[in-house]
Amino acid sequence: MLLLRLLQPNFYLLDEPTNHLDINGQDSLESELVEHGAACLLVSHDRAFVRAVATRIWVITGQRLVEVDDPVPVFDKLMSS
């Protein structure tokens, strides 16, 4: 988290950012992203993290990028596959 504070980026590109973090690390990352307000493109299967930090959600379906209002059906579909 210190590196995120020092660099002060205005855009993050994150692929499964919570995979190797403990609960405290996940909470710190979530707080940092929300408080900093930078744009962020992230890929995550962590439902709680997505709900906490995402303001817009897109899904690739049928070779198209589609914005969805609610990530729950998307996660449910991924889990049933």
CATH no. for residue 54?
Answer: 3.40.50.300
pLDDT tens digits, one per residue of 14-73: 999 999 999 999 999 999 888 888 888 999 888 889 889 998 889 888 899 999 988 888
With respect to residue 65, please indicate whether it lies within any of the assigned structural domains: yes
pLDDT at 4: 63
Output 80 or 2, whichever has higher pLDDT.
80
Give the count of domains, the chain. 1
Which residues have CB under 8 Å from 11's CB, separation 6+?
Answer: 38, 39, 40, 41
With respect to residue 1, please indicate whether it lies within any of the assigned structural domains: no
Q: Where in the sequence is the domain holding 64, given as residue range(s)?
A: 6-80
With respect to residue 24, please indicate whether it lies within any of the assigned structural domains: yes
Asked whether 29 and 40 are in contact (CB, 8 A), the reply is: no
Q: Which residue type sits at 22?
A: D
